[in-house]
Structure 1
Amino acid sequence: MTRLSKVPLTDHPLTRRNFLIVSMGAGVAFGFAGVAIAALDPASPDQQPPAPGVEPSLWFGIDPEGTVTVNIIRAEMGQHVGTSIARILADELEADWSKVRITHVDSAAKWGLMVTGGSWSVWQSYPIYSRAGAAGRIALIEAGAKILGVSPDACVARNGAVVAGGRSVTYGDIVKRGEITRVFTPEEMEKLPLKPVAERKLIGKPVEEIDIAAKINGTALYGIDAKVPGMVYARPKMPPTRNGSKVVSVDESAARKVKGFLRTITLDDPSDTVPGWVMVIAESYPAAIRATDLLRVTWTAGPGADVSEKDIQDRSVKLIATPDAGGVLDTGGGDTAAAFKAAKSSFEQTYTTSSVLHFQLEPVNALAFEKDGMFEIHTGNQWQSLILPTLAKALRRPESEIVMRTYLLGGGFGRRLSGDYAVPAALASQALGRPVKMILTREDDIRFDTIRSPSVQTLRMAFDGAGRVTAMVHDAAAGWPTQIWAPFFMPKGVNGVPYDPFSSSGADHWYEVGVQKVRAISNDLANTTYRPGWLRSVGSGWVNWALESFMDEAARYLKLDPVAFRLKLLTGAGRNAGSAPNAVGGAKRQANVVRLAAERAGWGQKLPPDTGLGLATSFGQERNMPTWGACVARVRVDRKTGMVFVEKLTIVMDAGTIVDPDGALAQTEGAALWGLSMALHEGTEFVKGRAKATNLDSYTPLRMADVPELDISFVESQEVPVGLGEPATTLTAPAIANAIHAAVGVRLRHIPIKPEAVLAALKIKG
């Protein structure tokens, strides 16, 4: 059973199978004008422009029928992000939900940063869309009052209409009358009164997801569905290395025998995104597949052709042992070396993780062509703002002449943050002078994957004579995706060395541990062997694995209960007190979810033999956007086979205001199960510069039969809504490892945890 609840907790049973910123003058940030709403779905070529209406802001429009169209800049990949954002605006606007529509907009500079990741979407959208809705409501009330011949103070907005006593006028009729003239300055926008929580009708309430019908009836279009007349198909012949490969020769003789084969194109890529790529062009995709298999290409391999997983991990170990390597995070200062020297005792452990692949259901693909002076890229993408400059460099044309058309994503999970797959399609189309649709096979997709780097982490903790924690050091080494893809996102550490925040977030935790030092180290060998990528988990996905495994071990070193030990350190004092607007309550809120999860899971109860409970907690990612969470895993270990059976996951999340309860549940379920999958099943290794596993016959994620009982709860809160797409992912692996120790007394410090590792640990223990 899966249970969704808030605290106070109410069970919700489910089976487990089952603002245009109007340039009317400086300072005008929100205005109304009678213009046509031009935001269309590019994936629906037969869609007709809507009737002229008003665009109260960049973020939404209202037509004469009262239909509210909300513009969404976030990618939809199954999380119903459009519904979540639309309900934020619609609630403040007092719109009729049955007349609310969403449109996922194309890339354009006016939208600002277009990125879907890091569990940022609702958190970053909430202040923008809520104020846009509030401004719209005020302007509509003023216009409606004028039509009704009363004072605005005598009116209220309700369900898509302005009401005064027994009389009313709908939003559509107000738009038809053209009475809306109100303009707000940025300062006025900041001071707009938002609804009291008690008056919310959509936020936190059960409503129908706007996009479900299209997904069910097949009308929803994904990138792989994109097509235009006259297009041809392409598949790449993958080079031996991700970086630096060069084509020596191409032999088409066998490929020419395939009916439908047209030609090959050796890509010239100024952006160096796809070095050594040869594209096979054909009239159909099956022909492109067959011809590519028959194509013979000789390359000079780039760096990393002889690199193995062990080489990468050995490099991390060496870097951790180099005192001045890496960037040091700001954790409040203090001399950790002196603290360890003065300590009565200390404790140290090292934790590792394997390479992890994305394996999203829809392999990466892109349709590219030039039309009316614009180069169009039709594809599903999570970070349009990131790939557009790369496309401009590759195509040798201004970014203003490139547009990315938006489609649904058949899975993103961080793979579609880079958008690198748009480059080869665009280059092939440019060289051929016609539309090219590139689709990667599953094996191609994995060879081109931006994998989650393997990692090595060493943690140390110092104690005084009374067992009080006086210092903590955390060194984390791995390949850095942000260094490769978005170095402008990297802050400088207190030692002046830039670091990847998405490879260290979580290590700057909310525990009170005396003086603290976190060192984030870039594995240069990993970065040159392949292109590390982000993968669903908030931050790196490996940091909390080490941190929460270590906290459990430290508790047992002190002979303390792991829950009691964590609660003792989550004091909410000093830098861990939290602050407005996003981290009100600080570590005390984290302590609360730990306490609730433990109580709900029956912490301390007597369990059957070889069965144990393990707890892990996290704040999700950035300290300025914490999503407090705790998970208790109930695990049974088979001593004969080494098999680990996860029987139940009890999860309590505090994400502030829950905007979309259904979406919050689905997001937490999916995140937790992915974390479980990476804990016990997922993982590959690098052999001669390539991932060993290339398909699901050798890479085996969690199967349905292994899905445990889920008990998921949300703390009832009026605080700012923060992210829920990923935080639960980082909770499950350490909770499982901690539960294994509780069950059979062995400690596993590498994920995935395989049966043979369990057996080996049991043998050593025995």
Structure 2
Amino acid sequence: MTTDIDHGRRSFLIAAATTGAFFGFARAAGAVALLDQLVSPGMAYAGSLFEPTVWFAIDHEGIISVNVPKAEMGQHIGTAIARILADELEADWDRVRIVGVDTDPKWGFMVTGGSTSVWTSFPRFSRAGAAGRITLIEEAARLLAVPVSACTARHGAVHAGSRSILYGDIVRRGRLARRFTDDQMKALPIKPASARSLIGKPTPALDVPSKTNGTAVYGIDVEMPGLVYARPKLPPTRYGSRVVSVNDQAVRKVKGYLRSIVLDDPSDTVPGWVMVIARSYYAAVRATELVEVQWQGGDTASVSEADLFRHAAELIADSGQGALLDTGGGDVDAGFAAATQAIEATYTTAGVLHFQLEPVNAVALEKDGLFEIHTGNQAQGFILPVLAKALGVTQDKIVMRTYLIGGGFGRRLNGDYVVPAALATKVLKRPVKMVLTREDDTRLDSLRSPTVQRLKMGWDTRGDVVAMEHVAVAGWPSLTVFPGNMQKGTNGASYDPFSIAGADHWYEVGALRVRAVNNDLAQRSFRPGWLRAVAPGWTNWALESFLDEAARTQGIDPVTFRLKHLTAAGRNAGEAPSAVGGALRQANVIRRVAGRAGWGRSLPAGSGLGLASSFGQERGMPTWCACVAQVKVKAATGQVVVEKLWMEIDAGSIIDPGGAMAQAQGATLWGLSMALYEGTGFENGQVKDLNLDTYTPLRIRDVPEMDIAFTESAEAPVGLGEPPTTVVAPAIGNAIFAATGVRLRHLPIRAEAVKAKGPST
């Protein structure tokens, strides 16, 4: 079988009898012979394996296969997880392989998002490695006829004085019957940070070779015998549309056209969809353009962004709307009543699209009563119940095969795109491959919701902050995609934590009230989604811009103002295992980045420095970030040129230095992109921009100099993929104010707004 880029990857054949999907680097036991040819040399599936837990196995050659239940979408999560395990196992890194696993209850709830993968995987995989090391040492001691106390594990072997035995030989010769229960695993000690040999050290990423030689397989690559292709004819509204008639007379001249199917979807995921079926993808694309469909549209067909913002303002004005977060108590109303000075500001953000390189796609087939879904997906646990409802089967009748993802960024947390392929295969009784065009993908996108936020702060006669309020109105992704994630507020109302995280900050501001409000009009108009950092992408824009306003209102340097209120008192003290140090760690990254950027130095007219800080995603797993932006504003045009970005990140222990830096760089640049370049309008019930001719993310020519550093730490590792995005926009906004005196309160920041001195100054 050839493995050149043109033929090897694009013509990759998934055998109908496969029990799992090739992940790009290695695969699980039980693969068909065709796929076995593709694994790394030395990989062994026959005979006994050493499997002390479900998370890894060692064969007779000493090859260590690490089972990764997380989606690989360019963030090297397999390498990070394998490194965690291999460090505790004392493995030879050259003999480690990673295996992408299909859905199975034994892996637990499968989801990759929220920058939680390393954070949640570290305890599990480090102890799995410890279990393997302990067992191998015990059996090596027996084989070498020495006490266990005389043995140590190092670099894939157990050593006892001058003698040693390789892990592969222990597996081949030994009696490795020991298995660990969950309770036993939790009780296992792991290494201190000082003893780590792989974590935090430069080592090659395991997924890069297959991605560069063309053998890596993405969901869009899947082919199989008997496959037909589908493209959807999308309805005028995301919800509420109903097909009145379908006329395919004109399309019958398209060679390869087969039929058009009106989908009946009991899950109401894709209401009003018509699937156009053909023998080739080209024919499906061409035929879809010619099929004539009449719909009865939904009631959101005329909704615009102005409608969404107007409705949000009405919701904010009604204090009875939304859920109140537990922010530690205190009488906010009494605080404002006693305040001698107060400020208030409203911030808005436009909708943001994902535009991942690989458009959404899925292959579905039914075989022997089992539905197979071949696709790249971030949250199998989210979509399996929806698929079961749509197909009218139990979840055990569905298996999702794992593939590499050509860009996720939260889009593939919503697996809505697998439903139409599954429904089509149920009707046709043959494999169906659905690939959306770029425009289709954009119309179907689970965009980051447009938002409106109101913030208020009051001071007493001494200038101390006595009360603060933060209200955020947005579409809520969990409400539609994963209702099980909804939480209860202190007033009994439900809220989506992914709509408000970041507003429950670590600053000491007296009594704090945070209110999360659902924009129900947005919820009916589109399918709100997760997009790299989700709520902190908007809450931190408002919070850190507002703190800058508050500091300047008080006549205090913005850095000094922040440090003054990061006291780590009470609930802001932090706690083990993930938030040790609390607000003091946020203060530390602020000091460090301000020092590196030369905060307070003089700059030419029209240039300025701005700072913003955050704890990233969630209070329970804070990634402390601080950013300084240096900008130059062209007075004649209002164009903002970002000259340099400094970033300081405290993410606890850094597992994979190369992957961590790549994540931080990508997140920083996307933060810049969403600050100045990305953002779509909403018109007539649809997003305004459908392709990259009008939706214009950051271009290479506009990339500034970046100076990114990680605070050295031995604390628990937390998330890295998203937190840096949240501090760039407010740092830029604050820098623009420092340079020009223009305070901008809407994202994205456009040159016209700067030139006009902002929409709300």
TM-score, length of structure 2 as denominator length: 0.94
CA separation in 2, counterparts of 1:347 and 1:41?
A: 67
C-alpha distance 46-234 of structure 1, shift in aligned 2 (>3 A): farther
Per-residue deviation, 1:490: 1.0
Distance apart, 1:516 and its partner CA: 0.5
Cα drift, residue 84 of structure 1:
0.3
Aligned to 1:726: 722
CA distance in 1 between partners of 2:34 and 2:320 (Å): 51
User: Is the 1:42–1:406 Cα contact (8 Å) retained in structure 2?
Assistant: no
Mapped partners of 1:746, 1:720: distance in 2 = 40
CA distance in 2: counterparts of 1:763 and 1:363, whole angstroms: 35
Contact 1:39 1:103 in 2 (8 A): no
Instruction: Report the CA distance between 1:762 and its aligned residue.
Output: 6.8
Rounded to whole Å, the distance in 2 between the matches of 1:181 and 1:111 is 21
- The whole-number CA distance in structure 1 between the counterparts of 2:176 and 2:660 is 36
Tell me how far apart the structure 2 counterparts of residues 718 and 607 of structure 1 sit (CA, whole Å): 37
- Cα offset, 1:83, TM superposition: 0.2
**Residue type of the partner of 2:531?**
L
- In 1, the alpha carbon distance for the partners of 2:759 and 2:355 equals 34
Amino acid at match of 1:473: E
Query: Deviation at 1:110?
Result: 1.1
Structure 1 residues without counterparts, runs of 5 or longer: 1-35
Structure 1 residue aligned with 2:359? 363
Q: For residues 647-699 of structure 1, give each alpha carbon's deviation from its aligned partner in whole angstroms, at most 9, with x where no partner exists.
A: 11100000000000111101011111111111101111110100010000010
**Which of 181, 206, 218 is the aligned partner of 1:210?**
206
Instruction: Verify: 1:51 aligned to 2:42, yes or no.
Output: no
Aligned pairs for 1:52-131 within 5 A = 52=47, 53-131=49-127
Structure 1: how far apart are the matches of 2:760 and 2:266? 55
Question: Residue 235 of structure 2: which of 231, 239, 242 is its match?
Answer: 239
Q: Secondary structure at the match of 1:761?
A: coil
Instruction: Quote the residue 2:671 is aligned against.
Output: 675
Is 1:337 matched up with 2:328?
Answer: no
Identify the match of residue 427 of structure 2 among 417, 428, 431: 431
The answer to whether the 8 A contact 1:570-1:591 is kept is yes
Other-structure match for 1:652: 648
1:38 equivalenced with 2:29 (yes/no) = yes
Q: Distance in 1 between matches of 2:462 and 2:405?
A: 54
CA distance in 2, matches of 1:622, 1:230: 47
Letter in 2 for 1:556: R
- Give 1:355 shift: 0.9
State which of 261, 266, 270 in structure 2 corresponds to 1:270.
266
Please show how residues 485-634 of structure 1 align to structure 2 within 5 Å: 485-634=481-630
Q: Is 1:301 aligned with 2:292?
A: no
Give the SS at the match of 2:335: helix
Cα shift readout 1:398-440 (whole Å, capped 9, x = no counterpart): 1101000000000000100011100000111110110000000
Cα 1:500–1:193 change in 2 (3 A) is: same
Note if contact 1:512-1:570 (Cα within 8 Å) is conserved in structure 2: yes
> What's the C-alpha RMSD, in Å, of the aligned pairs?
1.5
| Match status 1:415 vs 2:411 | yes
* Equivalent residues in 2 for 1:142-181, closer than 5 Å: 142-181=138-177
In structure 2, relative to structure 1, the CA distance for the partners of 1:41 and 1:688 (3 Å cut) is: farther
Please say which of residues 40-49 and 381-390 is displaced more in the overlay. Answer: 40-49
Structure-1-length-normalised TM-score: 0.94
Q: How far apart are residue 50 of structure 1 and its match?
A: 1.5
Does residue 639 in structure 1 map to residue 635 in structure 2? yes
Contact 2:631/2:732, CA 8 A, preserved across alignment: yes
Relative to structure 1, the CA distance from residue 590 to residue 252 in structure 2 (aligned partners, 3 Å threshold; closer, same or farther) is: same
Would you say the 8 A contact 1:51–1:64 is kept in 2?
Answer: no
Residue 692 of structure 2 corresponds to residue 701 of structure 1? no
For residues 569-612 of structure 1, what are the alpha-carbon distances to aligned partners after superposition, in whole Å with 9 as ceiling and x for unaligned?
Answer: 00111110000011000000000000001000110011111110
Q: Distance in 1 between matches of 2:181 and 2:404?
A: 35
CA drift at 1:764:
9.4
Q: Take 2:163 and 2:390, find their aligned partners in 1: how far apart are those partners?
A: 60
Q: Which of residues 282, 286, 310 is equivalent to 1:286? A: 282
What amino acid sits opposite 1:657 in the alignment? S
Contact 2:743 2:760 in 1 (8 A): no
Deviations 1:236-282, CA, capped at 9 Å, x for gaps: 00100000110000010111111111111111111111001001111
Say if 1:667 and 1:724, in contact at 8 Å, map to a contact too: yes
- For residues 471-495 of structure 1, the C-alpha deviation after alignment (integer angstroms, 9 at most, x for no partner) is 1000000111111111111110000
Identity %: 63
Whole-angstrom CA distance in 1 between matches of 2:646 and 2:421:
45
**Paired amino acid for 1:633:** A
Q: Which letter does structure 1 place at the counterpart of 2:520?
A: D
Unaligned runs of 5+ in 2: 1-26
Q: Give the CA deviation at 1:201.
A: 1.1
SS in 2 for 1:195: coil
Opposite residue 73 of structure 2, the aligned amino acid is M
Q: Which amino acid aligns with 2:147?
A: S
2:364–2:372 contact (8 Å) kept in structure 1: yes
Give the whole-Å Cα distance in 1 for the aligned partners of 2:648 and 2:169.
46
> 2:643 aligns to what SS in structure 1?
strand
1:54 is displaced (CA, Å) by 1.9
Paired letter, 1:428: A
1:346 aligns with 2:342: yes
SS at match of 1:274: coil
Q: C-alpha distance in 2, partners of 1:449/1:137?
A: 45
Q: What amino acid is aligned across from residue 323 of structure 1 in structure 2?
A: S
- Secondary structure in 1 aligned to 2:473? strand
Alpha carbons of 1:656 and 1:296: their partners in 2 closer, same or farther (altered >3 Å)?
A: same
Tell me, yes or no, if the aligned pair for 2:737 and 2:743 is still in contact at 8 Å. yes
State the partner residue of 1:13: none
Query: Could you say what secondary structure the match of 1:133 adopts?
Result: helix
Shift of the 343–215 alpha-carbon distance from structure 1 to 2, 3 Å rule, reads: same
CA separation in 2, counterparts of 1:342 and 1:467? 12
Whether the aligned pair in 1 keeps the contact of 2:257 and 2:277 (CA below 8 Å) is yes
Matched, 1:133 2:129: yes
- Local SS of the residue matching 1:184: coil
- CA drift of 1:177 comes to 1.7
What is the CA-CA distance between 1:303 and the residue it aligns to? 2.4
Contact 2:744/2:759, CA 8 A, preserved across alignment: no
Superposed CA offset, 1:174-225 (max 9, x none): 1112322334344432232212222211100000000100000000000100
Amino acid at match of 1:119: S
Aligned to 1:257: 253
Alpha-carbon distance change, 245 to 730 in structure 1, aligned in 2, over 3 angstroms: same
| Mapped pair 1:321 → 2:312 | no
SS at 1:542 equivalent? helix
> Cα distance, 1:370 vs. partner?
1.1
Change (3 A) 1:535 1:136: same
TM-superposed deviation, 1:86: 0.1
SS of match in other structure, 1:568: helix
Give the letter aligned to residue 264 of structure 2: D
1:480 corresponding residue in structure 2: 476
Aligned equivalents of 2:166, 2:686: Cα separation in 1: 61
Describe the shift of the 1:37–1:764 C-alpha distance in structure 2 as closer, same or farther (beyond 3 A).
closer
* Amino acid aligned to 1:103: V
Q: CA shift at 1:466, angstroms?
A: 1.5
Structure 1 match to 2:17: none
Q: Secondary structure at the match of 1:143?
A: helix
